[in-house]
Amino acid sequence: MGKLVECKITVRDKHITHEGVDEGISEYQGEFVCTENGYTIKYFEHEGEFADMPIKILVMPPNTARIIRGGEMTYDFLLEAGKRHKCAYGTPFGILEMGVFTKKIESKMTETGGKLNLAYTFDVGGGEIFDNELLIEVKELPNVQNS
């Protein structure tokens, strides 16, 4: 296993629907681990209905990633560049089956952080719902030691 790095994680997300564009930016403190097979980013949501839900992003360069959310609103999305995969989105009312087509996975990471860009489209029953793009930046937090 690689070195565990405490880090600041900045997530810029863009959702595009037929109703328009919704963009946001959130910052988290989390963990980053880089191994010979890829890397993992972990943090907890801290806003709204998703507060305290864990997020884990596993990336296996050059073209595969998984985004896993735990808690009451769960999902496990497999993203593979140029491919569509079925996934399940768990809600308090039941499971919503969706398709995820991955347009792009761009990863520029080192052992202490970097950038990840994911672009994908969700669909239900073959009908497009929205495009989504995540730009995730990971920066190692300075090691603060008491004198």
- For the chain, 147 residues long, give each residue's pLDDT as a single digit of tens: 678 889 999 999 998 888 889 999 999 999 999 988 899 999 998 776 667 789 999 999 889 999 999 887 888 999 999 999 999 888 888 888 899 999 999 999 988 899 999 999 989 876 767 899 999 999 999 875 544
pTM for the whole structure: 0.87
Architecture of domain 4-82+103-118+133-140: Beta Barrel (2.40)
Question: What is the model's pLDDT at position 147?
Answer: 41
Quick one: 126 exposed, middle or buried, by C-beta within 10 A (0-12, 13-18, 19+)? exposed
Q: What is the pLDDT of residue 146?
A: 45
| Domains in the chain: boundaries | 4-82+103-118+133-140
Instruction: Report the C-alpha gap between 70 and 90 in whole angstroms.
Output: 9
Residue pair 25/34 in contact by the 8 Å Cβ criterion: no
Which DSSP state fits 71? S
Please give the Cα distance from 61 to 47 (Å, whole number): 30
Helix (H, G, I), strand (E, B) or coil at 19: coil
